[in-house]
């Protein structure tokens, strides 16, 4: 039915579903699209209810006497409106997060930083630069790595991580003559800790020679100091063993505690080995009661002095006495050794013995609580640990 049929009729006489046909059309703005659609749905639903068979008209009293019907209609309209607004909101959200166009990551590895940045700019990509030392001085300013990898498909505006070389840590070989070889090893290890292949590495085992210099002193090096470093280089060292056939005087250790005995032995040029036995009559427990060779005897350097320590005849139940032993590799000169105790219930270690030791069997008496852990380390590196348990009582 055409809209001209209702043009001269009053609005109350026109059916509810057709009243919109008499209204002039309006231009719908994009911002009000949701409101227009909601109004249209509401009108159609109300027109459908009014045309339902047997349902009273809008102006009839029976229509207003059905509150349940009107409540259900209102709830349905609210749900329909909310659903429609939700769909519209989701559409707007996905449209807003739609990313930029995709592009391919170029290969900028091995190129100078400036050239690599220009290639990334053409692809609308941005750099995140990370500086790193490299193994060759010729790599300075070049791009070593990139992430994502070349050929990856990413969105425009993505940041690309570039690892750029800032050259080598050392340009020439340093002068290590006169330095202690252990300190040089530690310095080089720290200097190239982050490198896959160190630029300068030591050739081991070292060559040793007798010398008036202290044991462990670097006497010669190859390459010589000042030599250029153009890539990974091996450093050969000649290290002093100390004076040949040097004789020293055995220190007087009898009557000292084990820890005091080590303090006197340290730096005297002799080595040591401990043994223990139960205290006897007229003896004190916990001290050195015998040494061999005797005090004042002239002996070769690094020769062992045997020390005998007494322990109590009756040991308390909460203590354990014993002798710690462990064989260390023989060294051309003494290296620092530490024996520490980790007592149950404590997180801190206590020092039992610390001394420069030539190698061989390291022994030291201990007096600790049961379940104590004894830890032996050399040059700051843990070598061995042992848990001390209480002795099992003998049954007869």
Give pLDDT tens digits along the chain (396 positions).
Answer: 444 444 444 554 444 444 444 444 444 444 455 566 666 666 666 665 565 544 454 444 444 445 565 677 677 778 877 888 888 887 777 666 655 588 899 999 989 998 999 999 988 899 999 888 776 667 788 998 999 999 999 988 889 999 998 776 677 888 999 999 989 998 888 877 766 778 888 988 888 888 888 888 999 999 999 888 777 889 999 999 888 767 889 999 999 999 999 999 988 889 999 999 999 988 889 999 999 999 999 998 888 999 999 998 888 888 999 999 999 998 888 889 999 999 998 889 999 999 999 899 999 999 999 999 999 999 888 999 999 998 766 554
Per-residue confidence (pLDDT) for residue 13, from 0 to 100: 47
Q: Which CATH class is domain 102-165?
A: alpha beta
**DSSP letter assigned to residue 251:** P
- Do 171 and 206 meet the contact criterion of CB atoms below 8 Å apart? no
| DSSP per-residue letters across 269-313 | T-EEEEEEEE--TT--TTSEEEEESPTT-EEETT-EEEEEEEE-S
- Do 159 and 218 meet the contact criterion of CB atoms below 8 Å apart? no
| Gyration radius of the chain's alpha carbons | 46
In the chain, which residues fall in CATH 3.30.10.20? 102-165, 247-388
- Do 230 and 220 meet the contact criterion of CB atoms below 8 Å apart? no
- Do 193 and 132 meet the contact criterion of CB atoms below 8 Å apart? no
Per-residue confidence (pLDDT) for residue 17, from 0 to 100: 45
Per-residue confidence (pLDDT) for residue 69, from 0 to 100: 59
- Do 185 and 203 meet the contact criterion of CB atoms below 8 Å apart? no
Dihedral sign, Cα of residue 374, residue 379, residue 382, residue 383:
negative
- The CATH number of 247-388 is 3.30.10.20
Number of C-beta neighbours around residue 283 at 10 A: 11
Per-residue confidence (pLDDT) for residue 323, from 0 to 100: 95
CA distance 234 to 200: 6
Asked if residue 269 has a cis previous peptide bond (ω within 30° of 0), the answer is: no
């Amino acid at each position: 039915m055409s809209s001209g049929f209702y043009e001269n009729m009053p609005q109350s006489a026109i059916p509810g579903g057709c009243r919109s046909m008499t209204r002039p059309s309006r231009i719908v703005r994009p911002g009000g699209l949701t409101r227009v659609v909601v109004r249209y749905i509401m009108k159609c639903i109300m027109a459908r209810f009014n045309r339902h068979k047997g349902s009273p008209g809008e102006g009839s009293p029976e229509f207003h006497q059905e509150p349940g019907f009107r409540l259900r209609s209102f709830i349905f309209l609210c749900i329909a409106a909310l659903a429609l607004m939700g769909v519209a909101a989701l559409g707007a959200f996905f449209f807003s997060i739609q990313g930029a166009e995709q592009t391919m990551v170029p290969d900028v590895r091995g190129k100078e930083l400036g050239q690599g940045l220009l290639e990334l700019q053409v692809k609308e990509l941005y750099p995140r630069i990370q500086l790193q030392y490299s193994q060759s001085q010729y790599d300075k300013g070049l791009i070593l790595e990139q992430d994502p990898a070349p050929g990856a498909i990413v969105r425009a505006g993505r940041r690309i991580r570039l690892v750029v070389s800032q050259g080598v840590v050392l340009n020439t070989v340093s002068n290590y003559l006169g330095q202690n070889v252990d300190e040089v090893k530690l310095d080089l290890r720290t200097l190239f800790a982050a490198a896959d292949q160190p630029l300068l590495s030591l050739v081991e085992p070292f060559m040793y020679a007798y010398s008036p210099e202290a044991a462990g002193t670097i006497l010669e090096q190859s390459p010589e100091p000042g030599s250029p470093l153009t890539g990974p280089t091996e450093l050969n060292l000649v290290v002093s063993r100390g004076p040949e056939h040097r004789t020293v005087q055995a220190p007087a250790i009898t009557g000292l505690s084990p820890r005091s005995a080590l303090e006197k032995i340290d730096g005297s040029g002799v080595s040591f080995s401990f043994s223990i036995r139960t205290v006897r009559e007229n003896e004190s427990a916990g001290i050195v009661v015998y040494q061999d060779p005797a005090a004042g005897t002239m002996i070769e350097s690094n020769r062992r002095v045997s020390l005998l320590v007494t322990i109590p005849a009756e040991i308390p139940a909460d203590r354990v006495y014993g002798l710690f032993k462990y064989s260390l590799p023989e060294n051309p000169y003494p290296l620092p050794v530490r024996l520490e105790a980790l007592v149950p219930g404590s997180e801190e270690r206590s020092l039992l013995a610390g001394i420069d030791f030539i190698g061989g069997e390291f022994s030291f008496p201990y007096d600790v609580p049961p379940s104590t852990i004894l830890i032996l380390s050399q040059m700051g590196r843990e070598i061995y640990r042992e848990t001390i348990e209480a002795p099992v009582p003998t049954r007869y």
